[in-house]
Structure 1
Amino acid sequence: MLNISIIQLWCMYMDTIVVDQGRSSMYGFVEPQTIQPSGNTLQNRQHYLQTWMDESKRDVYLVPYIDGSHWQMMVIIPKQCKIIWFCSLHRKMKNDLRTMLQGVIGKSRGQLVQILYPKVCNQQVDSWECGFYVMCWIKTIIRAVITDDWNERFKTTSPITEDTINQIRQEWTAYLLQRWS
């Protein structure tokens, strides 16, 4: 499992790509440390999400989420009251998370949040890869400018290749060195 700091730094890197593409009003990132249940109250998590979405007004939010020791990802589209859930173990979203998100996204629109599970998405082989899957999905969404048609865009259960994982490692390392050297 990847440390949360690695995922946070990846999101910072992806945000620079979004800005360079001129799409900073389209994609936003949610701070994974602030929305995880460990160390944060339900009220604090909801307040953070509500405030960030109200102030930033992005079309799509990419949200790495850690459950125990497993990374998963949400794509939140507030204007459509929709969440797309990605899990490399093909697990469903837990009810407490769904309830928390309903309290933020659905409440402001007076609607039930719709949770979509891509019919297929990459499935990990080993126990340590989940963070790399989240990083890869974020990169894919941003580079291909995906905002809808999730089932058309993600249609394989094939594991992410070792070459792809190594490329993500190299990009992450290059960004780290560039940022702090």
Structure 2
Amino acid sequence: MDDVQKLLIMVLKRGDDHLDVELIHCSMCTNFLMSCKCIRELLVGSIWLDMSTLSVWCSYIHRLCIENNTTNVYGILEPTFLNIVGDAGKKSDQRISQSKCKKYIQHKLQNEKKECQLLPFNHVGHWQLIILCPKINTVVVICSLHWKLNPIMEKIVSSVFTVDQMANGNRKNNTVWLYPQARKQYNSNDCGYYVMKNMLDIVTAKITDSWMEVFNDPKELTAEEMYELRLRWSTYFLELLEG
């Protein structure tokens, strides 16, 4: 059996339990519990990926950066701290205020000084990847439906990025926004996998620029690519459980 099958058998036996693991990508991500239900949804495929699933993936991507000696290049933001309250102001238990989101991004930019900050962002059930590149004054939004960024988050990112650029001596405020025509999904559930794949490709290929040229392939992910993502996630999660 591979690790997808091993983990699936484990969570089927655990029912509705939650598994306690320690994530390494964000110091504020403590007391993390992963639902067996969300793990099953990842492993069987064709189901929208939960916020916690992407949190584990962020931890895995951070570990890859450690192994590749690129922690000075890439910062990984925790998606739960980007899960903003929407236009109507209806706040669920898992959503944070726009001001807290703004402070979180600002803190990461000011204190980490990375070439690229990767922000897995979910709005109304759709995952997108935002990439902040302070050194080249560029914001990249990679979306598997080729949509623009939600206006609320666009305003937050623009405000934080402008302040950071001015603090670093760039007073022209000529930020470049890029929307590459990247890999495209053809159903309503796979957006999380595309964010996972894009994050993986960025850190393994050490991409820091030329975004429009690199992410210029609109074909959908193959079944093999989707399974590889599940396998990587499963292998890493099993390692976390082993401590």
Fold equivalence (TM over 0.5): yes
Give the equivalent residue in structure 2 for 1:115: 177
Q: RMSD between aligned alpha carbons?
A: 1.1
Unaligned 5+ runs, structure 1: none
1:173 pairs, out of 218, 229, 234, with: 234
Paired residues for 1:134-145 under 5 Å:
134-145=195-206
Structure-1 residue corresponding to 2:81? 34
Name the residue aligned to 1:16.
63
5+ residue gaps, structure 2: 1-47, 86-94, 167-172
Q: What residue identity is the alignment partner of 1:28?
A: G
Q: Which residue of 2 aligns with 1:130?
A: 191
Q: 1:159 corresponds to which letter in structure 2?
A: E
Do the aligned residues in 2 keep the contact of 1:83 with 1:116 (CA within 8 Å)? yes
Answer whether contact 1:26 1:59 (CA < 8 A) is retained. Answer: yes
Q: Output the amino acid matched with 1:5.
A: S
> Alignment partner of 1:180: what SS?
helix
CA shift, 1:54, in A, is: 1.2
Larger radius of gyration between Structure 1 and Structure 2: 2
Q: Is the 8 A contact 1:65 1:73 kept in 2?
A: yes
- Percent of aligned pairs with the same amino acid: 27
**Equivalent of 2:221 in 160, 166, 175:** 160
TM-score by length of 2: 0.72
- Measure, in 2, the Cα distance between the counterparts of 1:109 and 1:169: 37
Whichever residue aligns with residue 237 of structure 2, its letter is L
Counterpart position of 2:142: 86
1:63–1:75 contact (8 Å) kept in structure 2:
yes
Shift in Å, 1:98: 1.3
Letter in 2 for 1:116: L
- For residues 29-70 of structure 1, what are the alpha-carbon distances to aligned partners after superposition, in whole Å with 9 as ceiling and x for unaligned? 011110121321121111111112211111101110001011
- Partners in 1 of 2:137 and 2:153 — Cα distance? 15
**Aligned-residue offset at 1:97:** 1.3
Aligned equivalents of 2:81, 2:238: Cα separation in 1: 25
- Asked whether the equivalents of residues 110 and 164 of structure 2 are also in contact (C-alpha less than 8 Å), the reply is no
Contact 1:36 1:65 in 2 (8 A): yes
Conserved? CA contact 1:81–1:106, under 8 Å: no
Name the aligned partner's letter for residue 238 of structure 2: L
**Structure 1, 52-61 or 168-177: larger mean CA deviation:** 52-61
CA contact (8 A) 1:74 1:86 kept: yes
